[in-house]
Structure formats: structure tokens, C-alpha cells
Amino acid sequence: MGRYTKQKGKKKNENEEIVYNDWWMFTLILTTLVILLEALKRYTFNIFDVNLTYAIFLLPLAYFIVNYITKKYGYKKSVVAIVISALSVVLFVTIMSVVLGTELLLENVSGEFCGYVISQFVNLTIYSFLLNNTKGNYILTVITYIFSLIVYYMFYTLIHLNIIVFDNFSQGYIITILIQAVICFILGFIDMKVKRGIEEE
């Protein structure tokens, strides 16, 4: 397992933080999480007469993991992680359709795939900007998480507009964002505790 230090080409001193090049491990965690999100979307619970999927509790974690990779290992590693995790969902759905003997429909995965990829890159772009131009602003970081979730649901809704049942849709949407906003405030606090690793040139 390789490792990097913040100052390239210089000998490590006692005060210099070592950053291990184990970004692949977090990519694997992200991939596993995204597959779990796909599996959980069929399991729901009821709150205020609105059915919500258990996946809403885990979705913010996907952005947190990408932001962690960005902060520790750089922008390029995050792009690779997003691509791998997104393709893993398509592969998972394809394998499950073959195993279960069901027809593979593009609409079954297109909404999640497009929403996930676009919102992750929106999140990555804003978060990278904040890393390079601010000194770790908690509020802006939390807003980035929440905005990324809104982007996800926006594209998901646009793609599935023809099959969405709009009874209680707005209520369900607001409740979902509120629940995930609470999670984002917690993740934002943890995010502030993460020290920056490799700085890309």
C-alpha cells in the first residue's frame, strides 16, 4: 500500500501528516452503499400518511464519502469513485434481472443513475471550490449536501415524470428533504473534523 505526504519530494518530518493511498477502499464502500440504496428503494415506511423509502437515510452518506475522498485524495480520485459506483448500480440491476428472470427496463435504473451521477458531480464541483477558496465553512458545506440532494430528486422527478403519482408528492418531498437535512447537519460537522490530505497541483 503506497502512501503520500503533503510535501512531494521532501523527507517526512515528525510533524508531517502521512496520507495513505487507500482511496480504493472508500471507493469500495461507496460502491457497496450505492448498491444498498438500490436494494432498499423497494422497502418503505409510513410517516404522516406518506410512504418513504429507507434509502433516504443512506443517500446523504454517498455525498459524504465522495467529499471525504476529495478532501483526502483529490478531485480525480473522486471522479473515478463516482463513475465506478454509478456503473455498479447498472451492473447490479442487470445481474438481478437475469437471476430473477425479469425484464430489464431502462426506466428502472435511468432515474437513479442520472440523478446520482449529475448530483454527485454538482456536489464535487461545489465542494472542491469550497476546499480551494474557503477555510472550511460549516454552513456552506451543509448547504452543498442539501443542494446536491435537491438536484438528485429534481432529475429523478424529471425522468420519471410520467409514472410519478402526485398524490402527497410535495408532502413526501418536503419530509424527505427535512429528514435528510438533519443528517446533512451531522455529516457536515463530521466533515469539518476531517483533515485535508493530498493537495493536487
Q: CATH no. for residue 92?
A: 1.10.1760
Secondary structure, 3-state, the chain: CCEEECCCCCCCCCCCCEEECCHHHHHHHHHHHHHHHHHHCCCEEEECCEEEEHHHHCHHHHHHHHHHHHHHHCHHHHHHHHHHHHHHHHHHHHHHHHHHCCCCCCHHHHHHHHHHHHHHHHHHHHHHHHHHHCCCCHHHHHHHHHHHHHHHHHHHHHHCCCCCCCCCHHHHHHHHHHHHHHHHHHHHHHHHHCCCCCCCC
pLDDT for the residue numbered 199: 59
Give the per-residue pLDDT at 125: 96
**Assigned domain for 201 exists:** no
Look at residue 156 and tell me if it is in a domain.
yes
Quote the domain boundaries for residue 101. 3-193
* Average pLDDT of the segment spanning 161-187: 80
Percent of the chain at pLDDT > 90 equals: 49
39 lies in some domain = yes
| pLDDT, position 151 | 94
pLDDT at residue 168 above 70?
no
- The predicted structure's pLDDT at residue 65: 97
pLDDT at residue 13 is higher than 60: no
Q: Is the pLDDT of residue 90 over 70?
A: yes
> Is 198 domain-assigned?
no
Q: Is residue 200 part of a domain?
A: no
Q: What percent of the chain shows pLDDT beyond 70?
A: 80
Domain tally, the chain: 1
Q: Give the global pTM.
A: 0.84
